Amino acid sequence: MCGIVGYTGKRAAMPVLISGLKKLEYRGYDSAGIALSGESGIIVRKQSGKVSGLSDLVDGEKDTLSLSHSGIAHTRWATHGPPTTLNAHPHEGNEGRVVLVHNGIIENHNALRERFKSAGHVFKSETDSEVLAHLVEVNYDGDLLAAVKKSLKEVDGTYGITCMVKDEPGVLVVARSGSPIVIGLGEDETIVASDASAIITYTRQAIYLDDNDIARIEGSKVDIESLDSGAVTRATSEIDWSPDAAEKGGYEHYMLKEVFEQPEAIRNTIRGRIDLNRGTAILSGLNLTPRELVDIQRLLIVGCGTSMNAGLIGEYAVEDFAAIPAEVEQAAEFRYRNPIVGSRDLVLAISQSGETADTLAAVREAVDKGTLVAALVNVVGSTIARETGRGIYLHAGPEVSVASTKAFTSQVSVLLMIALKIARAHRLSREKGIQIAKEIQRLPELVQQVLDCNDKIAEVAKHYADYNNAFYIGRGYMFPVALEGALKLKEISYIHAEGYHSAELKHGPIALLEESMPVIALLNQGPGQDKTLSNVAECKARNAPVLGVITKGDEEARKTCDHVIEIPACPQYTAVVPAAVALQLFSYHVARIRGCAIDQPRNLAKSVTVE
């Protein structure tokens, strides 16, 4: 996820900005840049790669650059355009007078870009953020605050920005809408950042901006206004994080941080991709017309691990909504078994990293077989994204924790949208499409409701932390969730866990049921719930402890279980997301109680680039 730092005060700005960027490295990024304001104008230095590279670059010009007492800096995680030096922030206006750094997405950037191009502007990057820099410069008439205010009223989307102009050295203008900005109040100085980790070396006094706030900052003078009204006052808070927690945005582990980022990650994934009016999804990266979509007779989904589990949910959704066959295949199996693919198949490769060796090889096999191949990838510019050239980025932000969490729920969100889009090209009515689209839009809120139960889930986890084995059971859409729940538990807590279709228990695994074999049952309301309830009764009859993931307020299901975790009521096809989040939190707390190395589980790597 991108990071912002800004400084105005008495010190040399450069070392403060570079140290701030280093503190934000934990967020993940692929390029970095800095802009320093001085007597002779604004100097911008940026490059793809690590902050250390940028630091070496500016160090070579230390004598000049250290004279500057205000500046802005950024770490970029590519969304619009690959991770190149030109796409790195800060971005400049057409005449290089205005410079800004931006987190978020400007949704109407294409329209603005066209407008400026016809006025003769030249763009250096492919980013939406550069368009905003051009806009502020066009609106600048001697007052940076007024120019930014005017510009933000013309944009749609989300932003956290920090902006400077050549004519007002020492002045920073910051604003937020949907992407955080914190203002660190020092003595004779102010440090702004997208997250408090970058400021706590200098001060623990901070103001967190609200959405629609905009502030003009000069030295230690901070004036905050609302975009819609005049001056506003925001409370100052004391940051009490430990330095270690600060590296993870205040969370004890990256995994927990990423679990909690899910409402925002899913919001970013679905933003601009739902057309409520037409009851469909807008997935331009797929690059398929409705005519071409209707020609697709089968979807073949390939991936590994968590990505494959997400694919299984996609299989259910495609068959459910679109009534065309979908199959999921482990990517290694696909690559080696000379798969049968036809000209009317669409192969969909799913990979968070976009680098997984088996998934990449499966993509190459499908390309060689001459079929349509699309990718669903999180990391922009990754090999799978480049080699397919057709696909959908998750926009979930960087995932640092080895255990994949937010990538999974973002993958599922995209798969639901793909299923909806294919379905609308086939037989799904507009009315039904609108209904599904509305349910997809509820996902961030459904996840938030589960996150709000974190303390309760931590309590429940205490009852299950001492077992050596566990079964996860579910049916229908909840079967892949059982597989994913078991995978999460085993990889971070080292408890042996297996996911089964509820009906499969009787065909062997039931032999293992006894008081030392807990069963985690996906029991939320929906088709098949009664059957799984019967399976749970069979488990209880063999003294197995049962933890149920149930629909909020379902007293019947609650009575059947020893412990429950509640998820909000919603259709099964979206319930997979809050249910998976509940199981992520459960695994996290079990692993924490057992003292496991949650972010770096033994024997595992974040990106499996070998077979």
Give the residue with the Cβ less far from ligand F6R, 135 or 384.
Answer: 384
Q: Is residue 195 part of the contact set for ligand F6R (CB under 6 A)?
A: no
Piece of the chain touching ligand F6R by CB under 6 A; list 21-29, 59-67, 284-292, 345-353:
345-353
Give the residue with the Cβ less far from ligand F6R, 16 or 304.
Answer: 304
CA distance 109 to 107: 6
DSSP run (H or E) holding 134: helix 128-139
Give the residue with the Cβ less far from ligand F6R, 315 or 491.
Answer: 491
The site string for ligand F6R over 452-491 (x = CB under 6 A, - otherwise) reads: -----------------------------------x---x
Catalytic residue of the set 2, 304, 539, 561: 2
Q: Is residue 306 part of the contact set for ligand F6R (CB under 6 A)?
A: yes
Q: Is residue 359 part of the contact set for ligand F6R (CB under 6 A)?
A: yes
Q: Is residue 593 part of the contact set for ligand F6R (CB under 6 A)?
A: no
The one-letter amino acid code at 191 reads I
The 3-state secondary structure of 295-356 reads HCCEEEEEECHHHHHHHHHHHHHHHHHHCCCEEEEEHHHHHHCCCCCCCCEEEEEEECCCCC
Piece of the chain touching ligand F6R by CB under 6 A; list 233-241, 298-306, 459-467, 497-505:
298-306
- Cα-flanking dihedrals φ and ψ of residue 147, to 5°? -65, -40
Among 9, 305, 474, 568, binds ligand F6R (CB under 6 A): 305
Q: Is the Cβ–Cβ distance between 213 and 226 less than 8 Å?
A: yes
Q: Which of positions 372-431 make contact with ligand F6R (CB under 6 A)? A: 403-404
Closest approach of ligand F6R to the CB of residue 608, in Å: 5
Q: Which of positions 1-40 make contact with ligand F6R (CB under 6 A)? A: none
Give the residue with the Cβ less far from ligand F6R, 128 or 491.
Answer: 491
Q: Is residue 584 part of the contact set for ligand F6R (CB under 6 A)?
A: no
Piece of the chain touching ligand F6R by CB under 6 A; list 85-93, 347-355, 414-422, 562-570:
347-355
Angle between helices 406-425 and 443-451 (to 10 degrees): 150
CA distance 120 to 136: 16
Q: Give me 501's structure tokens.
A: 């279709």
CA distance 110 to 98: 20
Give the residue with the Cβ less far from ligand F6R, 243 or 389.
Answer: 389
Identify whether 561 is a catalytic site residue: no
Q: Is residue 307 part of the contact set for ligand F6R (CB under 6 A)?
A: yes
Identify whether 438 is a catalytic site residue: no
Among 280, 351, 371, 383, binds ligand F6R (CB under 6 A): 351
First CA to last CA distance, the chain: 29
Q: Give me 513's structure tokens.
A: 């049921």
CA distances for 587 relative to 307, 480, 518, 593, angstroms: 18, 16, 14, 10
Q: Is the Cβ–Cβ distance between 67 and 40 less than 8 Å?
A: no
Q: Is the Cβ–Cβ distance between 92 and 133 less than 8 Å?
A: yes
Residues forming the active site: 2, 606
Residues that bind ligand F6R (CB under 6 A): 304-307, 351-353, 356, 359, 403-404, 487, 491, 607-608
